[in-house]
Amino acid sequence: LRLGNRSRGVLIVRTSNNPLLDIIERKGTRLVIPAYQRAYSWKRRQCEELWLDIFRAARSNARHFTGTLLYTPEADEASGVKRIAIIDGQQRVTSVSLIIAALARYLAENAKNVDGMSSDELRKRFLLLGEDEAIPSKLVPSRHDRAPYFAIARTSTAPSDAPENLRSNLVFFTDQMAQPDFDADALWRGLRNLTVIAAEVDNADQAQLIFESLNSKGLPLTTADLVRNYL
């Protein structure tokens, strides 16, 4: 499959239909948001829709398609950790990671497990990677969001200076889990049923062109986004 015209086409070398959590959990792999990407931009409305989708998937106990995840491999880290750059899918991956962080806090505060995992086990499998304190998490957001997200991955708490979208969406998910009828097992079942079409791009040099094209019909890119993309 090629995206674009003949002169600037980009080859998709492989695609697969994967549970999103399987991609996030993948051992020895870090998900990196490239420099040309915008900061995390989902608002409460998108998070409410995601929350409803998760519980629809839990009730039906069937796979629920939630979009595409376009990526390209990067050079491995010196430690052997593999890196993949997310061209499209940042918003879903980050939002699901925030849900997992909120769930880890809920499990710790209520002395509960989910799918046999404690809070610490959940965090180690889905949020943290390795012993590198400078880059502690499996997900590495854009520079503006990076340090606040690292704090969230470690502690499930957003720093006071965290960007508004990270902070408010984490609060939204935490508040949902504080409701009397919240069912952690149903949440986890729904998360396990979220699937994406994962597609690998062969040409990292043109990845930002794909990002710009894909987002031309989504949430509009700002002038700053376009300038950063160009640079």
Measured in whole angstroms, the distance separating CA 149 from the mean position of its chain's CA atoms is 11
CB atoms within 10 A of CB 80: 8
Of 4-13, 27-36, 116-125, which has the strongest mean pLDDT? Answer: 116-125
Q: If we measure between CA atoms, which residue out of 104, 127, 103 comes closest to residue 21?
A: 127
Write the pLDDT tens digit of every residue in 42-57: 999 999 999 999 999 9
Indicate whether 228 pLDDT > 80. Answer: no
Q: Beta partners for 2?
A: 11
CB atoms within 10 A of CB 120: 12
Residue by residue, DSSP assigns 55-96 as HHHHHHTS-EEEEEEEEEEEPPPTTS-EEEEEEE-HHHHHHH
Q: If we measure between CA atoms, which residue out of 146, 158, 100 comes closest to residue 127?
A: 100
pLDDT at 1 (0 to 100):
46
pLDDT at 121 (0 to 100):
97
Least confident of 23-32, 59-68, 194-203: 194-203
Indicate whether 14 pLDDT > 80. Answer: no
pLDDT average, residue stretch 115-136: 93
Answer whether 2's CB lies under 8 Å from 10's CB. Answer: yes
| Beta strand pairing call for 2-3 and 10-19 | antiparallel
pLDDT at 205 (0 to 100):
54
pTM metric for this prediction: 0.86
Question: For the chain, what is the mean pLDDT?
Answer: 87
pLDDT at 188 (0 to 100):
98
